[in-house]
Structures are given as structure tokens and as C-alpha cells.
Amino acid sequence: MSIAGSERLATLRSAPDRLSVGTRARFAALIGVFLLGRLVLQERIAFGAVAPDFYVMALVFSAVRWGSLWGSVLGFVLGLNADALEVDRFGMHALAYTVAGFAVGKLKEALYLDVPALDLGLLAAAALATGVITTLLGAPDAVAAFEERFFREVPASALYTAALGGLLFRLVRE
């Protein structure tokens, strides 16, 4: 299989327990930045109900590098945090982020490519998947509001997350 242009074979990094202390610290700091982004920035840069999901960014960033196991574990932890913020339907985000983290890790392993476009696609897909799961589980909303959320806000938020996340990933790479 020929891989053109900037595409190259992925070098999936080791799981965090095999990383050096410095690398682990850098990852932890980066995850911390994403967490702060969720708590401090997310509301401010939202357009109504359309907002980037910093937890999804942290999740994809980790799952892409560490694989599905750590993707699902981090997804669960981040999901619990998101649930604690909202209380209602506690466990909903934990489930959504766990599924997304696992799926992103598996997809990355299966595709075995390390190209920015793939990361962008995974970001958008993960944000879309978590949005769809949380919208479906949080279903007791009026039909009109459900449609608005499902067909407009969730896809728009996924694109927003992918765009901002792609930018941040690029900054991190450089």
C-alpha cells in the first residue's frame, strides 16, 4: 500500500505506564489545560448551545496516542466530571465518553495512519457520537427541542470541536 504526501505510518505511542516521567508530566499538563478549557472557556466561546467540547478533545488526544484502553478509562473519568457538573442523568456522559474513547482508540489502531486529517475526522466523529448519545439518553425534552439539538446543535458543536481541537493539536505537535 503506497502512502502519498504527508501521510505516514502511525507510530502509536506506548501506554502511559511505559512513558518517561517528563512525557507523562507533559501529557498530564495538557490534559489539565483541556479540563480548564472545559470549566473556564467553554461557556465563553459558545454560540448559544453550539459549543466546543474540551473533554472530547482531551479524550481523542489521549485515545489516539495511548489506544482504546486508556481512551475508555480517561473517557469514563472525564465523563464522571461532566456528569458531576450537571447532576441530571448522572452516568450519561461517562457512558458516552467511554464509548467514544474506546472507539477512537480502536479506529486509530485499525487505520494505522498518522495524518492530521484523520485526527480531525476522529475529533468530529467523537464529538458527534458523544452528542448523539447524550441527546438520546437525555431524551425527555420536547420534540422540537430534541430535533433542534439532534439535527443542528450536535453536528454544529462537533464541527466546532473538530476545528478548535485540530488547531490545538497542531499547536501541540509544533
Does the protein bind other proteins through residue 161 (CB under 8 A)?
A: no
Radius of gyration of the chain (CA): 16
Among 45, 85, 117, 167, binds other proteins (CB under 8 A): 85
Near other proteins by CB under 8 A: residue from 80, 118, 156, 163? 80
Question: How crowded is residue 50: how many other Cβ atoms within 10 Å of its Cβ?
Answer: 16
Residue 18-47 contact track with other proteins, rule CB under 8 A, x = bound: -----------------xx--xx-------
DSSP letter at 112 equals -
Side-chain half-sphere exposure of 53, counting CA atoms within 13 A: 33
| Chain residues 101-120 in contact with other proteins, contact rule CB under 8 A | 102, 105
12: cell is 502509536
92, 137 Cβ separation under 8 angstroms: yes
Among 27, 52, 61, 83, binds other proteins (CB under 8 A): 83
Interface with other proteins, residue 68, by CB under 8 A = yes
Stretch near other proteins under the rule CB under 8 A, chosen from 17-25, 93-101, 111-119, 158-166: 93-101
Give the sign of the dihedral formed by CA 64, CA 70, CA 75, CA 81: negative
How far, CA to CA in Å, does 161 sit from each of 4, 22, 23, 109? 27, 28, 25, 22
For residue 27, give the amino acid letter.
F
Q: Which residues bind other proteins (CB under 8 A)?
A: 35-36, 39-40, 49, 67-69, 72-73, 75-76, 79-81, 83-92, 94-95, 98-99, 102, 105, 137-138, 140-143, 145-146, 148-149
